Amino acid sequence: MSQEGNGKIDFVITWVDDNDPVWQEAFNSYLPQSQRTDDTGYIRYRNWENLRYWFRGVEKFSPWVNTVHLITSGQIPDWLDATAPGLHLVRHSEFIPNEYLPTFSSRPISLNLHRIKELSEYFVLFDDDCFLIDKVEPERFFRKGLPCDKAAFNALCPTSTYVNNVVNDIGLINDTFNKYEMLRRDYKKWFSVHAGTKVLRTLFLLPWRHFTGFYDHHLPQIFLKSTFKEVWEKHEDVLLRTTASRFRSITDVNSWLLRYWQLATGNFMPLNVEKDSAYFTIKDDTIDKIVKTIECQKKKIVCLNDGEVSSFEAAKERINAAFHKILPDKSSFEK
């Protein structure tokens, strides 16, 4: 129990190794090359071979974490000690109904996490491109038993499949909540100093009767397990439809729905979660800044979104060398 009265906090990370021939065979059998789009291209599944640095960062910079749940289709990195204390290996088949497997979309995986019995009420969901590079305390994620988040409105423009999925999320939020009732109840949270200049978005979008969107940050998502159960109780049909999609679909909802639900119910504590974090898309002209941010530990959390680079191997070598500089020692999760 932390000094803020939170319960035990788990970390959850989803991971896939696109070099695994068994995974490749399954992927190709369900989606021929001719049917692939940007949402199912090689970049979305590309392995940067830096998962070990994620584990090293967790152990060094957040030793208070209760359990790490590594979610895979059954793949286990050859360097990982599957029996390590504090590690829970979870196969998709352990919490997603068999009729929806295999899945190659992160949406069914993230939407069904509440089915993992061992998962704590308090957990943080990491994509495998988000890393801890300096010390973080439990209060960075939870305060007074509630997830920390930066709340502000946004206006959506459906320019991609991803944005259309967010529009689907917002549609369910509008079906369930009244915007003005929420603001009257939680105005102190929505007009908190932690929103910074983003509070202007909230002010400018006040005249619209319905939710037009929420400001999104590309960082680890902080959840209450009970939020998942509540959303499933109210919108099971929609969540099942997404769970049935083996690949990303324009009709999907995603894990942002669960975050929006927490914002709309007031189950969050205002915090500028971007203050100690940095987000990059990996490109030729960002690699120098990425390396410097990691090596100098300018932030506590860094998110490295995969992008187009002229040499994947060269970029991978430089970024992983930066991680190795600050995290040279094996963690207890490694053999």
Longest dimension (CA), the chain: 57
Q: Where are the alpha helices (DSSP H) in 205-326?
A: 225-243, 256-265, 287-295, 312-326
Question: What is the rounded CA–CA span in Å between residue 205 and residue 267?
Answer: 22
Number of CB atoms found within 10 A of residue 5's CB: 10
CB-neighbour burial class of residue 297 (10 A; exposed 0-12, middle 13-18, buried 19+): middle
Amino acid 37: pLDDT: 58
Amino acid 157: pLDDT: 80
pLDDT band at 3 (very low <50, low <70, confident <90, very high): very low
* Inter-residue contact 165 to 250 (CB < 8 Å): yes
Question: What is the rounded CA–CA span in Å between residue 70 and residue 74?
Answer: 10
Q: Which two tokens stand for residue 101?
A: 């497997």
Amino acid 193: pLDDT: 96
Q: Which two tokens stand for residue 271?
A: 């915090």
Phi, psi (5° rounding) for residue 180? Answer: -75, -35
pLDDT band at 39 (very low <50, low <70, confident <90, very high): low
Mean pLDDT of 9-19: 92
DSSP string, 77-89: -TTB-TT-TTEEE
- Chain segment 130-180, per-residue pLDDT in tens: 999 999 999 999 999 999 999 999 998 877 667 889 999 999 999 999 999
Question: What is the rounded CA–CA span in Å between residue 40 and residue 33?
Answer: 10
Cα-Cα end-to-end distance for the chain: 30
